[in-house]
Chains A and B, each alone.
Chain A
Amino acid sequence: MHAGNKLKTLSFIIGLTILLYIMSFLFLPANTGAEGLYKKAGGIYKEPKNTIGYLSIGDSESTTSISPMEIWNTYGYTGFNCGVPAQKLQDTYYLLEKVLNKQSPKVVLLETNACFRDFKYINALETIIDDKTEKIFPIYQYHNNWRYFHFYMLKNISADVAEKPSPVYKGYQYNINSKPYMGGPYTEETDEVEEIQDQPYQYLTKISDLCKEKGIRLVLYSSPSPKCWTYAKHNAVKQFADKNDLDYIDLNLPSDQLSIDWNTDTRDGGDHINYYGAKKVSAYIGSYLSGLSLLTDHRQDPRFESWNNEFKAYETQTMKSSK
């Protein structure tokens, strides 16, 4: 390659880097305090040291199912939703390990959907590269905000909630979109067991061991999801929970009396629950946490004033859509 062409190539790459950097600023979401829409583990790192009482971890079934603000309002427990959409258990483990360097939660709630997402070690490398790229050029992370460009980037006007990016409160992604699940009953009992593959199993065990080592109560839970959940998966998780002496809350089973209304409480036809569903799940989980008597009510504690302030914002946001 001629020297001129080398120079051209270099100039092009530098130009592109600058352009991506500038564009990234344009695409950052308006609610920057929430640390983005997904891959938002950054949010937990901003919490002051040892202030989080419980964590919820897992994939999008976790992100959408537990709203820490609901639990704060009722019980005063400080929690953070660290779920990341499509996350593999391997990444969940490393995320937890990192978070535990700064926080000492008493309880970790692990959503079980990711137990059935098999992965290879190359995925870990892909995740690292993706994370780094998103940190350097946030446009990769926030590019989907182009659809809101008109509303909040240029004119900065207040549009309807549905037209804005979903805001995030303590890791919970607020979403009131509703698309009914039409598939009928899905909880028919079976003895079949859907095996947890080797690699997810290995990291499930590692998460369990890590929690044991740190004196944290690990609780497995399955968020209501007719599209993702099956009884065979329930049986596999139950076996693991029994073997490791863990609590397992399956919110799909009728016995748990969650009364999810599949006409209104799901945002995408039964894959994930929306805010209305999360409100019910959070109430259930809050009550369960309260029963454990491991967490402290911080609502009157002046050191946690910021939680009350964030709750006010959450309340304003949800007021309009509350049933």
Chain B
Amino acid sequence: MTYTSILYLSIFLPGVMLLYQLAPGRHRYKVLLAASWLFFLSLSGKLIVYLLISTASVHHIGLWLSSCKKELDLTGASAEEKKSLKAACALKRRRILWLGLGIQLGMLVVLKYSGFFSDNINHLLKAVSYPNQLPAMKFALPIGISFYTLQAVSYLADVYYEKIPADDHLGRLALYLTFFPILMEGPICRYSQTANALTEGKPLEYKNVTYGLQRILWGLFKKLIIADRLNLLVETVFGSYKQYGGIVVILSALLYTFQLYADFSGCIDMTIGTGEVFGITIPENFRQPFFSKSPSEFWRRWHITLGTWLKDYVFYPISLTAPIKKFGKNSRAKLGKHVGQVVASAPALFGVWICNGFWHGTGWHYLFFGMYYFVLILLENLSEPYVIKAAESLRINRNNVFYRIFQSVKLLIIVFTGELFFRAETMTAGLSMFQSIFTGFDTKALTDGSLLQLGLSLPDYAAVFLGFLAVLTVGIIHERGISIRDKISGYKIPVRWTLYYGAILLVIVLGAYGDGYLPAKLIYAGF
């Protein structure tokens, strides 16, 4: 059962809505929790045991962190004793935090990465002709582990830094970690963003329900009409990459980027829409990323919640460690304010991008993807004042439309190249495909019908183009700060309903499902 299946859309979601509405307010969160666990069970079965261990340990460790502070009794203690008691308490809390993080991240590392590590160690052992090998390690991954682990880590860190109080309500914490719409692909929510709303038990409201369903429909449009259709071409080219080169590889990198955006942002639309139905505001994860001017801006608009998570729980903690602070001070003193500042941020930035690459998967091409953006963003930060200066001395208006087009084209080339390596089966495949762009470049593919041999027919390309126009139009409108749903709700019923019926039919008719299409999984659910 996934968010696009008929079972989910016509039975599961309406059933949960009905039970939620019928349940008394204080018990409504139980309906959501039961539904979330049922959803988890339907996808991962007995692997729910990992989720339950995560939930129980987060709950217990959060309370432990909190009680440790509360138990600190300084009455009657001298200043010296107070200092020593506080230091002991801080040390204990730090150890408890590390224990909590160890449990959460330990499970993730063992389940997700042990195969990667053992494979690479074995390659190394073979290379040095060592006779023994590690046993092959491969574990089944519970759905959403990469997402709920990050939520659990953020909760523990926030309790530790006393940004939020520890929650003694096990049900609320469990629901925060596994609310069914966020289970498969996030977004990565913070406890302060969703936990209270999840247990508030607000009744369903007409406006929330209609707005939520509209958002779900828009997500289905992107996922079924664009992403799942492009899946055919992407699978064909990336699956047999040795057969293709030049224009075909460029096109497949471009279309894969579009597929990934439509798939991931479409799923997030469904997630946020489902949250809205129940009156729960789930944070946005995308903000028209292709309208960005630079790689760093792109990442502030693409997978926003992962970016902010990495900033808060990797970048800042690394930046604030004593050695890095000292390194920063020295860098600024030796290299000047700007360059020193950029160099000082490099270790923390490196941490962010290595985590970003690793979080996405266990292949060298994912690490390359992370390092690719690390280098690009470091260079961008380093060169920014010089670019501004150069533009001024050449009298180039940086707000000029041509300069904007230049920036967009440059960014799109950067993004497409990154996604080519990201999607490639292996690092070698990525390099081979990248190389084939230049060695096998031939414009004949545009006219000799090769593009119709990649799994998509002419009507398919037409449907993708229609989807692209719709996404572009909606993006431009959103970029101008206009709410389309508010606009639509202002129309009279005949117009409004015609639009709704038209959109539903469009998704049903043009959706790439059934005969001739591969059953396409949600891409980020695999990370």
Contact = CB atoms under 8 A, between A and B. Distances in A.
Interface of A: 1-2, 5, 8-9, 12, 15-16, 19-20, 23, 27, 37-38, 85-86, 120, 122, 125-126, 129-130, 133, 139-141, 143-144, 146-147, 179, 182-183, 268-269
Contacts of B10: 129, 133
Contacts of B236: 269
B500 interface: yes
Contacts, number: 71
Given A1-B205, A1-B206, A16-B501, A144 B7 contact: no
B11 interface: yes
Contact of A120 (B5, B45, B453): B45
B497 A144 contact: no
A141 B514 contact: yes
A130 B204 CA distance: 28
Contacts of B504: 16
Size band of the B side of the interface?
A: 35 or more
Contacts of B455: 268
Contact of B509 (A37, A85, A143): A143
Nearest to A183: B240
Contacts of A144: 514-517
Contacts of B7: 122, 125-126, 129-130
B483 interface: no
Contact of B240 (A2, A120, A269): A269
Interface in B163-206: 203-206
Interface string B307-329: 00000000000000000000000
A141 B511 CA distance: 11
A126 B517 CA distance: 18
Majority-rule SS of B interface residues: helix
B1 A126 contact: yes
B508 A140 contact: yes
Interface of B: 1, 5-7, 10-11, 42, 45, 203-206, 236, 240, 243, 453, 455, 457, 459-460, 493, 497, 500-501, 504-505, 508-511, 514-517, 519
A1 B515 CA distance: 40
B457 A146 contact: no
Nearest to A128: B7
Contacts of A20: 508
Q: Which of the listed residues B453, B511, B515 has the most CB atoms from chain A within 10 Å of its own CB? A: B515
A242 B91 CA distance: 65
A138 B191 CA distance: 44
B204 A126 contact: no
Contacts of B497: 12, 15
A146 B5 CA distance: 21
A104 to B, nearest CB: 30
Nearest to A270: B240
Nearest to B510: A146
8 contacts: A120-B42, A126-B6, A130-B6, A139-B508, A143-B511, A144-B516, A144-B517, A182-B243
B457 A147 contact: yes
A143 B228 CA distance: 15
A182 B493 CA distance: 55
Contacts of A85: 515
Nearest to A27: B509
Contacts of B493: 8
Contacts of A143: 508-511, 514
A242 B371 CA distance: 52
Given A12-B497, A146-B510, A269-B240, A37 B515 contact: yes
B500 A140 contact: no
A5 B509 contact: no
Nearest to A12: B497
